Amino acid sequence: MSQFNKKLEQASKTNNSLLCIGLDADLAKIPQHLLNDSDPLYAFNQQIIEATKDLVCAYKPNMAFYEMHGIYGLESLIKTIELISSYNIPVILDGKRGDIGNTSAAYAKSAFEVFKADAITVNPYMGEDSVMPFLEYKDRGVFVLCLTSNSGAQDFELPIYKKVALKVKEWNKHNNAGLVVGATKPEQLKEIRALVPDLPLLIPGIGAQGGEIKATVQAGVDNKGGKAIINSSRSIIYASGKEDFARAAQKAAKELRDQINSHRFGK
Amino acid sequence: MSQFNKKLEQASKTNNSLLCIGLDADLAKIPQHLLNDSDPLYAFNQQIIEATKDLVCAYKPNMAFYEMHGIYGLESLIKTIELISSYNIPVILDGKRGDIGNTSAAYAKSAFEVFKADAITVNPYMGEDSVMPFLEYKDRGVFVLCLTSNSGAQDFELPIYKKVALKVKEWNKHNNAGLVVGATKPEQLKEIRALVPDLPLLIPGIGAQGGEIKATVQAGVDNKGGKAIINSSRSIIYASGKEDFARAAQKAAKELRDQINSHRFGK
């Protein structure tokens, strides 16, 4: 088992949770009193993390929401990852990166050495040499997009997602690969789980994107009720847009964690 | 014709060139005397740009090589784009970005409003809603990965690249879309050109990656000998690893531009 998988399993066990919170902070959506802070993105993330760190198995900041604010946003991202790491909770950097081999190596260096993430999401479109440089970081996790939760998934992913799942299984020499499979497609999720019984699955699309919880959990977990990382972003971090946002996020996270757990062992 | 296409055509006409130089500066590969500069990445790019700005139709910095150096690298990227823009040459930011709709909108904002690129490369794997937020910037260009120059292209791209080409053609309401097609596959390049006779094609893979020039040019240009953006990175920017690197890059760029032109009109 890779070091990333161990860290994930430990956090999941300690917090009795398969819940991952997506840290997609948007200055237009966070409580407006935070805009007076010298670093509003970090202030928002910090309060969300402090309120939910006993309820999650991982956090997943999406790079787009930080890049959107240029240098300032990327500085906030680095501080956010440092804070999460201080609590021994794994950080899955959602970057959906991928390029020809030597360029993917530069992205891997960025994610793992500069931003110091525990894991990254990778886009498989460009094939093997675009994915391998990430997998070569044996102590980190690599979640390859397989079948995503958005409507566009039908355009190109649907015809080839099983092939992607099988290829990733083949490339997984260091036992550090996983797949991204949307919660909006429980039937295919079940199929994919059968193809890769041992891989961790990162499952976004619960909540704002409409994925149904029971079907997702039952289709996504492995035969021990684990190895599913069920992500929710907006329905937790924006549970309240007022000063009580952190407490509201805590409440939403606890409810979702407990709801997921109620379906984990086939109940 | 979109504003991006006009800017591209103007630069191509002024410099009589289809050549694009990939600015993939790597601190381990640039001439070592530059490391004494306060901003070696920018110092390198600046000298390459000053030496070649009359020879190209565009520059293409790849974000990975800047992200790899964290905040510092991204500051160098911003300065590099400002310099290129001052010469009215279009900047194609090679990011291969793509995510669900609202997240792709954040990436589009990053590329076009923060980094101020004229165009971006986009990964189509996640489908329509992942590509549209970029295309909605009507005055910018969007090059969607179709069939790339790397060995991994055979894994997932080969079965679906024609479908990608036709979908992008369909999505191109604002006449600002293009495709990325590798120079290493001239037969498929010819097929794709026939499917999208009017789209600009960004063609990497000449030089270090082994694409053959004559076949690439003849297959890639439109029926007026244009709308092909032929990219070379390493074989130009690292033409010399010594103090004469800018002059060597100029020489290599001029030779490649002229060689491309010699095949442009079916000669």
Q: Check B62 against A103: CB less than 8 A apart.
A: yes
Q: Is the pLDDT of residue B267 over 90?
A: no
> What residues of A act catalytically?
96
- Whether B219 has a pLDDT exceeding 70, the answer reads yes
Measure in Å the smallest separation between the Cα of B265 and chain A Cα atoms: 31
What whole-number distance in Å separates Cα of residue A218 and Cα of residue A178?
18
* Residues, chain A: 267
Q: Which of B96, B163, B224, B267 is catalytic?
A: B96
Of the partner residues B65, B104, B125, the one whose CB lies closest to the CB of residue A125: B125
Greatest alpha-carbon pair distance for chain A in Å reads 50
Which chain A residues are within 8 Å of B61, Cβ to Cβ?
none
Q: Which pTM does this prediction carry?
A: 0.97
Decide if A24 and B103 are in contact by the 8 Å CB cutoff: yes
This complex has an ipTM of 0.96
pLDDT bracket for residue B266 (50, 70, 90): low
Residues of B within 8 A of A112 (CB-CB) are none
Contact A21, A237 (CB under 8 A): yes
* Amino acid in the structure at residue B7: K
pLDDT of residue A234 exceeding 60 = yes
Look up the domain containing A186 and give its range.
Answer: 3-263
pLDDT digits 0-9 by tens, B143-158: 999 999 999 999 999 9
pLDDT at A267 over 60: no
pLDDT tens across A152-184, in order?
Answer: 999 999 999 999 999 999 999 999 999 999 998
- Over residues B16-20, the mean pLDDT reads 98
Per-residue pLDDT at A1: 73
| Element housing B23 (H / E) | strand B19-23
Chain-centroid distance of CA A103 in Å reads 23
The arithmetic mean of pLDDT across residues B2-28, rounded, is 96
Shortest alpha-carbon distance between residue A249 and chain B (Å)? 21
Q: What is the CATH number of the domain that holds A239?
A: 3.20.20.70
pLDDT digits (tens, 9 = 90+) for A89-146: 999 999 999 999 999 999 999 999 999 999 999 999 999 999 999 999 999 999 999 9
DSSP letters for B147-187: E-SSTTHHHHHHHHHHHHHHHHHHH-TTS-EEEEE-TT-HH
Q: What is the mean pLDDT of chain A?
A: 96
Residues in chain B closer than 8 A to A94 (CB atoms): 99
Which tops the pLDDT comparison, A189 or B208? A189
Q: Do A106 and B151 touch (CB under 8 A)?
A: no
CA-based angle B180:B48:B115, to the nearest 5?
A: 55
Q: Is beta strand B19-23 parallel, antiparallel or unpaired with respect to A58-61?
A: unpaired
For A168, nearest residue in chain B (alpha carbons): B155
pLDDT above 70 coverage of chain A, percent: 98
Q: What average pLDDT does the segment B170-186 reach?
A: 96
Contacts of A64 in chain B (CB under 8 A): 97, 99, 103-104, 106-107, 110
**pLDDT of the residue at B167:** 98
pLDDT at residue B265, rounded to an integer: 79
More confident residue, B77 or A208: B77
pLDDT at B252 over 60: yes
- Long-range contact pairs involving B102-105 (C-beta distance under 8 Å, separation at least 24): B103/A24, B103/A62, B103/A64, B103/A65, B104/A64, B104/B129, B104/B130, B104/B131, B104/B132, B104/B133, B104/B134, B105/B133
Candidates A26, A96, A155; nearest CB to B128: A155
- The number of domains in chain A is 1
Residue A265's pLDDT band, with cuts at 50, 70 and 90, is confident
Residue A211, pLDDT score: 67
Residue A87: other Cβ atoms inside 10 A: 13
Sort out which chain A residues have CB atoms less than 8 A from B153's CB and list them. Answer: 126-127
- B110/A64 CB distance under 8 A: yes
What are the backbone dihedrals phi and psi of residue A118, each rounded to the nearest 5 degrees, phi first?
A: -85, -25
pLDDT, mean of residues A51-72: 97
- In angstroms, the separation between the Cα of residue A200 and the nearest Cα of chain B is 20
The answer to whether residues B80 and B115 touch, using CB atoms and an 8 Å cutoff, is no
- How are the residues of chain B apportioned to helix, strand and coil, as percentages rounded to the nearest 5? 50, 15, 35
User: Rounded to whole angstroms, what are the CA distances from B95 to A96, A133, A169, B202, B229?
Assistant: 11, 17, 27, 14, 17
Asked whether B240 and B246 are in contact (CB, 8 A), the reply is no
